Amino acid sequence: MPTPDLTPEAFARARAFLEEKGRPLDTARFHHAFEGAEKPEVLEALRAYRNENGGFGQALEPDCRAPDSSVLATMMALRVLHELEVPAHEPLLTDAVDWLHAHLHTDLDGSVWPFLPPQAEAHPHAPWWNQGRAGELARTFGGFRVNPRAEIVGRLWHWPALLPEGLLAQLTIEARDAMLAGLEDGDVNGHAAAAVFAGSLNISDDHRLPVLEYLADVLPGRVQATPDEFAAHGLNPLMAAPTPEHPLAHALEEPLSAALLHLIASQAEDGSWGPSWNWFGQFPDDWPTAEAEWRSALTLDALLTLKAWGRLAQ
């Protein structure tokens, strides 16, 4: 039977892994979250992924190796900035939001953020980031109506004054309507993006609660719930409710309990946690680098999740 909490010995192995093989950003975040290091150390490590135009790239999201600024990498940067609760005047944040504002694509259906610039196709990347054919990436991600828009909107409500007046409210309504139109059962990251929106308490209840109610209704039948399911790539309930304070946690109580047990039991011997996916043979020379970077990021994510749920043994 798996242990109910991550033991101190297992935690020490994870810490040693991050110290020896982790990305500087993940190591800095670990030091901040667990050892009291100051926020500037994390911001300095994050700055390595920032480009001169204010956006982020440089393989901050390991499955896309393009150096160019992208919505994908900039969204990942927003996650870190939100985690740190940086003030609205933090330059890394203000420049990133300005870059996002400049890269909104608007048509008759509203405004969205395409995940990647066209030039990213020339660099190593996972198959789901392919865009060799016209419109391929938009088709893969449902026109970007939910993912990444719902997550970015959810994050930006932490600093609502950074976009021009009225724009964030417009994006919120458009994201809400896209989610309430229904999410495909297999859209793993779309559900995760919607959960960020539903968990953003700064969003007006008029817009947030209908999404929360929709997700609370559909997620129990869509999230993974067994060890075999957790071992494969899919909608882990911890993606929807990463902390016990998340408003979806109550609706997913049983699968969350099982997911936490599996997370503890699935730590590798070297102390790390690895990805449940691969690039299916695309760019075979580059996947090992991406896999190693994911192992760093996912090890930190596992420790932060277990800390949030009080599953680190003292």
**pLDDT, tens digit (0-9, with 9 covering 90-100), for 33-64:** 999 999 999 999 999 999 999 999 999 999 99
Q: What is the pLDDT of residues 158-173, one digit of tens each?
A: 999 999 999 999 999 9
The answer for residues whose C-beta is within 8 angstroms of residue 97's C-beta and 6 or more apart is 156, 159, 162, 163
Q: What is the pLDDT of residues 71-128, one digit of tens each?
A: 999 999 999 999 999 999 999 999 999 999 999 999 888 999 999 999 999 999 999 9
Angle, nearest 10°, between helix axes 24-35 and 71-84? 20
The answer for residues whose C-beta is within 8 angstroms of residue 58's C-beta and 6 or more apart is 48, 49, 50, 51, 67, 73
Q: Which amino acid is at 236?
A: N
C-alpha–C-alpha distance, residues 138 and 130, integer Å: 10
- Cα dihedral angle (248, 182, 141, 164), rounded to 10 degrees? -70
Q: Would you list the DSSP string of 63-111? A: TB---S--HHHHHHHHHHHHHHT--TT-HHHHHHHHHHHHT-EEETTEE
Give the per-residue pLDDT at 314. 80
pLDDT above 60 for 2: no
Give the per-residue pLDDT at 305. 98
Give the per-residue pLDDT at 1. 45
pTM higher than 0.95 for the full model?
yes
Two structure tokens written together for 32:
């901040």
User: For residue 300, what pLDDT band results from cuts at 50, 70 and 90?
Assistant: very high
pLDDT above 60 for 276: yes
pLDDT above 70 for 270: yes
pLDDT above 80 for 140: yes
The counts of H helices and E strands in the chain are 14, 2
Count Cβ atoms within 10 A of the Cβ of residue 63 and give its class: 0-12 exposed, 13-18 middle, 19 or more buried: buried
Whether 117 contacts 142, CB under 8 Å: no
C-alpha–C-alpha distance, residues 282 and 126, integer Å: 7
